[in-house]
Amino acid sequence: MVRVGQPLRRNRDETVLVHCRRHAKALFWPVVVGFVAVVGSAALLGLMTVEMRAQYWPVVAAIAAALIIVGTIVPWLRWFTTTMTVTDRRVILRRGVIIRRGHDIMIDSLVDVSWQAGVHDRMMGCGKLILTSPSDQLVLTDVPGVRRLADLFADLADQRHGGDEYGYDDQQQPWQVTAR
């Protein structure tokens, strides 16, 4: 039986480098929908006459509750249960509220790592990460620190392949380049 909050299953010699969720900007529209549902239903009930309010308040409350559940709570649960973990060996994506889905990509099998960030994404500090392996392509949106994460994949690839072709010294960290 798995308990909530239990650490991810991974090999003992695997080190977790990054564990994150989508950027919080993904929750902007769900918060707006919840706010509009609450304020709109309160305004509508306030504009009704006493007789109409007594008759129709259950309908207004049901519509507001449905908007809050579908437009705010469900997207928040989706955001909360979707995680990305990068270890020194693989990328682990877990998502799903009722049906859990997992996708693992070995870092050794990555052919290309690319990222995109528009103006708004750069202001928020996130972007789209595209991981390509020979068998599939994984597109992750609203990844916080997407550029640093892409650099991390490059560093991991250099460490796996020796790093000598880029002028790295074995005594230095991967981000310290020696002059040749």
Q: Average pLDDT, stretch 87-99?
A: 91
Whose CA is closest to 28, among 79, 103, 100, 98? 79
pLDDT of res. 3: 39
How far is 90 from 111, CA to CA, in rounded Å?
A: 13
pLDDT of res. 40: 96
pLDDT of res. 35: 97
Per-residue pLDDT reduced to its tens digit, 29-74: 999 999 999 999 999 999 999 999 999 999 999 999 999 999 999 9
Burial class for 178, CB neighbours closer than 10 Å (0-12, 13-18, 19+): exposed
pLDDT > 70: percent of the chain? 82
Q: Average the pLDDT over each of 49-63, 70-84, 145-159 and give the range with the smallest value.
A: 145-159
Q: How confident is the model at residue 13 (pLDDT cuts 50, 70, 90)?
A: confident
How far is 116 from 178, CA to CA, in rounded Å?
A: 29
pLDDT of res. 7: 52
More confident residue, 139 or 179: 139
